[in-house]
């Protein structure tokens, strides 16, 4: 039988998984969006594949920067939660 603490642990696990899954989709979306934007521009101005490749690299860099920022925020939030738990003990 599931107790309330078991249900809370499962809920926290799913919330954590959702956060990290979101980060992965954000990186993929930024790379693909900028790649296809560059591909479209390449076809318009005849510079194939220059802008598509540049878009993919810019998307990867932007996605990576977003990943690092998000992970830093998550880490700070965990540290604050653990400090608050220590103070309440």
Sequence spans of domains, the chain: 10-88
Residues in the chain: 89
pTM: 0.82
Collect all residues with Cβ–Cβ distance below 8 Å to 15 and sequence separation of at least 6. Answer: none
Percentages (nearest 5) of helix, strand, coil residues in the chain: 90, 0, 10
Q: How many CB atoms lie within 10 A of CB 59?
A: 22
Please state, rounded to an integer, the average pLDDT across all residues of the chain. 92
| pLDDT confidence of residue 89 | 63
Residues 59, 65: Cα–Cα separation, whole Å = 10
- The mean pLDDT value for 33-54 works out to 97
pLDDT tens for 3-36 read 888 889 899 999 989 999 999 999 999 999 999 9
Q: What 3-state class would DSSP assign to 74?
A: helix
Q: Is the pLDDT higher at 78 or at 33? A: 33
- The mean pLDDT value for 54-61 works out to 98
């Amino acid at each position: 039988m599931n107790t309330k603490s078991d249900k809370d642990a499962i809920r926290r696990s799913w919330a954590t998984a959702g956060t990290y899954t979101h980060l992965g989709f954000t990186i993929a979306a930024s790379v693909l969006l900028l790649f296809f934007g560059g591909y479209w521009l390449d076809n318009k101005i005849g510079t194939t594949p220059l802008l598509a490749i540049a878009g993919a690299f810019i998307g990867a860099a932007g996605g990576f920067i977003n990943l690092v920022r998000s992970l830093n925020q998550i880490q700070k939030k965990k540290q604050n939660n653990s400090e608050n738990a220590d103070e309440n003990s």
